[in-house]
Amino acid sequence: MATNTLNIKILGTGCQNCITLEHNARQAVTELGLDATVDKITDIETIMGYGVMSTPALVVNEEVQSAGRVSPVEEIKIMLTAKTQTKQPTDTSSGNACGCSHAC
Amino acid sequence: MDIFYPFSAIATWLVEDVFRITNTTLAGSVHFFVYDTLKIFFLIIIITHIMSLLRYYLPIEKLRDFLISHKLYGLEYLLATIFGAITPFCSCSSIPLFIGFVQARIPLGITFAFLITSPLNNEVAIGLFIGLFGLHITLLYIAAGIAIGVLGGWILGKMNMEKYVAEFVWKLPEQKGNTIAKITLPKKEIARIVSKEAMDITKKIALYILAGVGIGAFIHGYVPQEFFETYLQKAGIWGVPLAVILAVPLYSNASGVIPIIQSLIAKGVPIGTGLAFMMAVVGLSLPEALILKKVLKWQLLASFFGIVTVGIIMIGYLFNGVL
């Protein structure tokens, strides 16, 4: 189902924070068992086209979700879940059923 | 009542009961090191948490959106410097910041007010200052960083230097703001994000602080009181500009420099000279100049650095004269 594929972009010029954010995004995708692509955008003019002023930034389906900080896995999971809820029922097939890896 | 008393007690306990140091000079240095380290980390952890929380709710993009939609009759310079103070500075982030302001058609002067203050005033520097110099000097230092930013930005704004910004910046599409999606996270999750960011910043600078305080503790115990006075008397009135010139090629993290400067000031270096040196180390860095060269032509870059240099020298004289 190609229409449900999420497109995640990591905007950043290649510093350590961008690498960490990409790692977190990939982990969130894996933990939620989603179908998603993760791309890295390093070109400054493309980055500025998204209207962010601080990197790294996280873009999901062309919408900027966070900028200037490394969103942790839990936060990205909340963002991604919000994006998928309108399109498909919540996916409970992943191992971490409750979605809170620390709280319970 | 000294709120830092418990740290002093721990340091005394370590020196007297754990290490059993009898040599008074060594004991003094070790006590200084333990006490200062504990106090500084305590303050930095608190301040990074406060700043990180502020940034979570007020990211720099919000300032841009606010400046686009409001007319502030000069207050925008002050607002830009305050944001500069709460934004942690990294020379690699100055390009997107600069382009972002220009894209939003925010006047150059306001952009520079932000860029000048951001490296001078930051959470780590503020934490170190409270710990090493006390609240009074910290407030004066923050005011100095803001004053240089507001005045420097205002002067640069009056110089009509738009033509010295790289052409490609003007060709980028204009930004109208409101770019970041609003998602509401549970309070607990926000607390965790804020705390993680604060602790990450603290961890990143921990080694610099330990090294800085270590060198400071050594100077504190082993460098004779008259050592710097003899040199500085020769320098006389030229002490402040000399300190600033010496600082430019030294690019360092404020966290390592501030503890060393404090111990030099304790050994007789005039406070304004010490602070001017420190501000020049963090505020006039060659790597930052090289990065900004991508978006600024040399005329504007030179004016920017020139004005900040003059500002720092003036602050140095002011502190020497007043304190």
pLDDT digits (tens, 9 = 90+) for B210-228: 999 999 999 888 888 777 7
Whether the ω angle into residue A56 lies within 30 degrees of 0, i.e. cis, is: yes
- Residues of B within 8 A of A17 (CB-CB) are none
Instruction: Kindly state the average pLDDT of the residues A74-93.
Output: 71
> How is residue B207 written in tokens?
């080694």
CA distances from A1 to A6, A81, B121 (A): 11, 17, 51
Number of domains in chain B: 1
Whether residue A70 is contained in a domain is answered as: yes
Positive or negative CA dihedral for B84, B150, B133, B261?
Answer: positive
> Does any CB of chain B come closer than 8 Å to the CB of residue A51?
yes
pLDDT score at A101: 44
Is residue A89 situated within a structural domain?
no
Query: Do the beta carbons of residue B113 and residue B84 sit within 8 Å?
Result: yes
* Window 9-28 of A, Cβ < 8 Å to B: 13, 15
Cβ within 8 Å of residue A70, ≥6 positions away? A17, A20, A21, A24, A56, B197, B200
pLDDT band at A41 (very low <50, low <70, confident <90, very high): very high
* Domain region containing B213: 5-322
Q: What is the mean pLDDT of residues B54-74?
A: 85
Percent over 70 (pLDDT), chain A: 78
The count of other CB atoms within 10 Å of the CB of residue B10 is: 15
Tokens 């080694």 -> residue: B207
Sign of the dihedral defined by the CA atoms of residues B276, B280, B283, B284, in that order:
positive
Q: Are strands A6-11 and A36-41 parallel, antiparallel or unpaired?
A: parallel
Average model confidence (pLDDT) across chain B: 87
User: Is residue B181 less than 8 Å (CB to CB) from chain A?
Assistant: yes
Domain that holds residue A66: 6-84
Indicate which CATH number applies to the domain containing A16: 3.40.30.10
CA B72 to chain centre: 26
* Domain-embedded: residue A91: no
In a domain, A100, yes or no: no
Does the beta-carbon distance from B100 to A78 stay under 8 Å?
no
- For range B102-115, the mean pLDDT: 91
A52 and B93: CB-CB below 8 Å?
no
Residue B16 has pLDDT above 90, yes or no: no
Number of structural domains (chain A) is 1
Angle subtended at Cα B221 by Cα B217 and Cα B227, rounded to the nearest 5 degrees = 110
The answer to whether residue A90 sits within a structural domain is no
**Which residue of B48, B56, B61 is the best one to mutate when testing the A interface, meaning the one whose CB has the most A CBs within 10 A?**
B61
Concerning whether A15 is annotated as a catalytic residue, the answer is yes
Other C-beta atoms within 10 Å of B166: how many? 17
The residue with greater pLDDT, B68 or B300, is B300
Q: d(Cα A71, Cα B193) in Å, to the nearest integer?
A: 7
The verdict on residue A24 lying in a domain is yes
Instruction: Report the C-alpha gap between A60 and A76 in whole angstroms.
Output: 10
Instruction: Report the gap between the CA of B207 and the closest CA in chain A (Å).
Output: 18
Taking 70 as the threshold, does the pLDDT of residue B92 lie above it? no
CB contacts, 8 Å: B92 with chain A? 13, 15
B95/A44 CB distance under 8 A? yes
Q: Which of A60-74, A84-98, B96-110, B122-136 has the lowest mean pLDDT?
A: A84-98
Residue A89: predicted pLDDT = 47
pLDDT at B7 over 60: yes
**Domain-located, residue A44:** yes
Of B40-49, B61-70, B146-155, B228-237, the one with minimum mean pLDDT is B228-237
